[in-house]
Amino acid sequence: MKEYWTSLASLLGVLAFCQSLMNSVFPPELRFAFLKLFNRVFKLFSTFCYFDITEIDGVNTNELYNAVQLYLSSSVSIAGNRLSLTRAVNSSSVTLGLSNNDSIVDTFNTVTVVWEHIVTQRQTQTFAWRPMPEEKRGFTLRIKKKDKNLILDSYLDYIMEKANEIRRMNQDRLLYTNSRGGSLDSRGLPWESVPFKHPSTFDTLAMDPVKKQQIMEDLTDFAECQSFYERTGRAWKRGYLLYGPPGTGKSSMIAAMANYLRYDIYDLELTEVKSNSELRKLLMKTSSKSIIVIEDIDCSINLTNRNKKQSTGSYNEPEMLTGSGLGDDFGNGNNTITLSGLLNFTDGLWSCCGSERIFVFTTNHIEKLDPALLRSGRMDMHIHMSYCTFSSVKILLRNYLGFEEGDLNDDVLKELEEVVDRAEITPADVSEALIKNRRDKERAVRELLEDLRSRVERNEKNGKLRGQNGSLEEQEKRALDSLYAEENGGEEEEIEDNICKSSDDY
């Protein structure tokens, strides 16, 4: 053992002598120059190049670092036993991230890249303009030299876009309403907001499955077709009209659309808007990727007071759109929104001040709306929210009672199918009947059947069966066609041209 320690001490002495000799023969400056030359030669023959993305660029936060962190947490598979979990402010979801000094492989347009998360201890600083984190964090991107242009031109932009989308998807959505009398909130905005927590989805919506699928496909097509709108020169927006009797699920449809697209909702109360200019300012303060809603438009303001064609063959100037049944203030003309202003709001130049926005109007009486509001470009898709059908009743039975296919007796299902179409019952009425007895499923179904039978008998007694005069949708279509014929006389374009030429001062 003594000989072992003696030999080790001699070896250490020799190494110390060699180190001293090397420092004398090769000074630090020469060694540094040699290492620098070696690195250059290595990089010259290497097929890879490297890019560093640090968390803090000088004294400012590097947005690209945060974007890469979000992108890698959701877009690729992470290999490793240790992962980091984060949850951002105003976010309802937890994101997965790379742990310290872990690496990951990603593919973009058939090009393979390697990301590595580098974390080192920051050197102690005596003075700094702002507090710095103890750790120095950053990502290193390794790519092949031949793919350098592709990565710098497209890949990083793609990462930024995906990161913005992930932030929007993770954030809690908001429900906005315009401030009373046009007042501004603490941030100087005319909108007040609350978290949007409505649970309605297309899966729970009591509606014909085929019609729901068409609406979902239309929404998806709208959200994914930015290039189409840019190529055709159209504003990236779309209009929907939801019409039908009260209680048929128009508000639930709007909530389902917002949950499906992950959009914010702006609930515009027209009775609080005093002029066309105020209406435009509200539109300018809405964000992209949002749904702008005007509910019960036939009740909020009077849209049927446009003067008809006079005997001289000319049109009078459009009158003011005043409040309907809301008190003397609106009736005396304090609310000076014109039909022209509302049309420009939905389809004019000011409607193009944002992108990826949906306008939704609801009404219980489509025949009361001015035809100029209903044309394509303002209301592109008319959705009739009808009474309950057999398929929608089954959806409600599943939502409230947990019934699935095969749980109900065949005789009960057959009777439901026979009476529901003739009962003319709304989803709201069916929901109320099921909620009352949700703890006793058999009783709930039994009372629902009794209610449906009584409605059928009442409809037959009063002669209000839809079969006598066609379906409700057909009746409303005939009423709308009659309105077009009466007001337009086949000259709809001439009327709209006169409307659009009207000044906001009218």
pLDDT digits (tens, 9 = 90+) for 183-193: 665 566 788 88
For residues 80 and 404, the model is more confident at 404
- With 50 as the cut, is the pLDDT of residue 329 above it? no
- With 60 as the cut, is the pLDDT of residue 32 above it? yes
Residue 22, classed as helix, strand or coil, is helix
**Tell me, what's the pLDDT at 335?**
58
Q: In 443-463, which positions are buried (b, 16+ CB within 10 angstroms) versus exposed (e)?
A: ebbeebbebbeebbeebeeee
- Contact indicator for 380, 240 with CB cutoff of 8 Å: yes
Residue 96, classed as helix, strand or coil, is strand
CA distances from 256 to 259, 382, 462 (A): 5, 16, 36
* pLDDT winner (highest mean) among 9-13, 120-124, 246-250, 319-323: 246-250
For residues 337 and 188, the model is more confident at 337
Domains of the chain: 23-170 (no CATH), 174-385 (3.40.50.300), 390-469 (no CATH)
**Tell me, what's the pLDDT at 75?**
58
Q: Is 269 exposed, middle or buried (0-12, 13-18, 19+ CB in 10 A)?
A: middle
pLDDT grade for 358, boundaries at 50, 70 and 90: very high
Rg (CA), the chain: 34
Q: Would you put residue 172 in left (φ > 0), alpha (ψ -120 to 50) or beta?
A: beta
User: pLDDT for 254-266, tens place per residue?
Assistant: 999 999 999 999 9
User: pLDDT for 223-259, tens place per residue?
Assistant: 988 888 888 888 888 999 999 999 999 999 999 999 9
Residue 115: name the closest of 97, 130, 129 by CA.
Answer: 97
Report helix angle 276-284 to 339-347, nearest 10.
20
Mean pLDDT for the chain?
Answer: 76
Q: Tell me the DSSP string of 196-224.
A: ------TTT--S-HHHHHHHHHHHHHHHT
pTM for the full predicted model: 0.68
User: pLDDT for 369-382, tens place per residue?
Assistant: 888 888 877 888 99
pLDDT grade for 288, boundaries at 50, 70 and 90: confident
User: pLDDT for 143-185, tens place per residue?
Assistant: 888 888 888 888 888 888 888 888 777 777 899 998 776 566 5
Handedness of CA 404, 408, 411, 414 (dihedral sign): negative
Q: In 72-81, which positions are buried (b, 16+ CB within 10 angstroms) versus exposed (e)?
A: bbbeeebeee
Number of neighbouring beta carbons within 10 Å of residue 184? 12
